[in-house]
Amino acid sequence: MHISIYRYDPDSGENPRMQDYAIELAPGDRKLLDVLMRLKDVDDSLSFRRSCREGVCGSDGMNINGRNGLACMTSLSALKEPVVLHPLPGFPVIRDLVVDMTQFFAHYHAIKPYLIDDGTPPEREHLQTPEQRERLDGLYECILCACCSAFCPSYWWNPDKFIGPAGLLQAYRFIADSRDTGTVERLAFLDDVYRLYRCRTIMNCTEVCPKGLSPSHAIERIRLELVRASS
């Protein structure tokens, strides 16, 4: 298999370059991450993040043949050669395929990704009806891999001000939660020309999400909640 990988070492002072690799597939190779881990054995200067190897941790997000995805969930059989790997677009590169996610997680923290409950805490637990619980489906599964935000032109352009699809999906996850009492404060924070309304409904986020979620749908729900709250 032929793979072309973006290489950048800030300590070397050299410009980024593409490095070509040719590697024989082993019988157990199924996913792109399998090949990358074997390449790492050959060239230990190659840097990329990975952890769970099964699409749960969201560490190995990268641009694979022009499309963001998780290396651990990308089947080798579906890839056209040469496989071209870049770091997540729009994110500052630390080294090779490793990007700086500081800004991304700052947005995540800004939306207060936890339940706000101003009432008296229940003796045992917050109860939800099956319908209330169902509203969280398609929201809680986000693993914050950043594939969506890094595929969003609006986020590329305003990464410091636009919350981005991942952060907004997480924001709606708590707005939609029947146990959360902070909806007014959450909506007031999001009602901003940059934080929410830089979204132009391009829908790259929904198209590229490796977990099959729809951040654009969540963004639309936030807008409708804002209309409802202001009427």
Partner 1 sequence: MKVFLGQRAWLVQRASALTLLLLVALGAALLLLGPALNHERWHALATSAHGAVIIVLFFAALSLHGWVGARDIVLDYVPSTAARLSVLSIVAAILFAVVIRVALTMAAHLSPVS
Q: In a 10 Å sphere around its CB, with 0-12 CB exposed, 13-18 middle and 19+ buried, how is residue 127 labelled?
A: exposed
Instruction: State the minimum distance, in angstroms, from the CB of residue 193 to partner 1.
Output: 4
Instruction: State the minimum distance, in angstroms, from the CB of residue 78 to partner 1.
Output: 35
Residues that bind partner 1 (CB under 8 A): 157-158, 191-198, 200, 223, 226-227, 230
SS3 for 87?
Answer: coil
Instruction: State the minimum distance, in angstroms, from the CB of residue 31 to partner 1.
Output: 37
Instruction: State the minimum distance, in angstroms, from the CB of residue 227 to partner 1.
Output: 7
Interhelix angle 215-230/164-175, rounded to 10 degrees, is: 50
Closest to 164 measured CA to CA, from 136, 137, 145: 145
And the tokens for 192?
């901003």
CB-nearer residue toward partner 1: 22 or 193: 193
CB-nearer residue toward partner 1: 15 or 230: 230
Instruction: State the minimum distance, in angstroms, from the CB of residue 197 to partner 1.
Output: 4
Query: Where are any strands of DSSP class E within the chain?
Result: 2-7, 17-22, 61-64, 67-70, 83-86, 93-95, 98-99
Instruction: State the minimum distance, in angstroms, from the CB of residue 191 to partner 1.
Output: 6
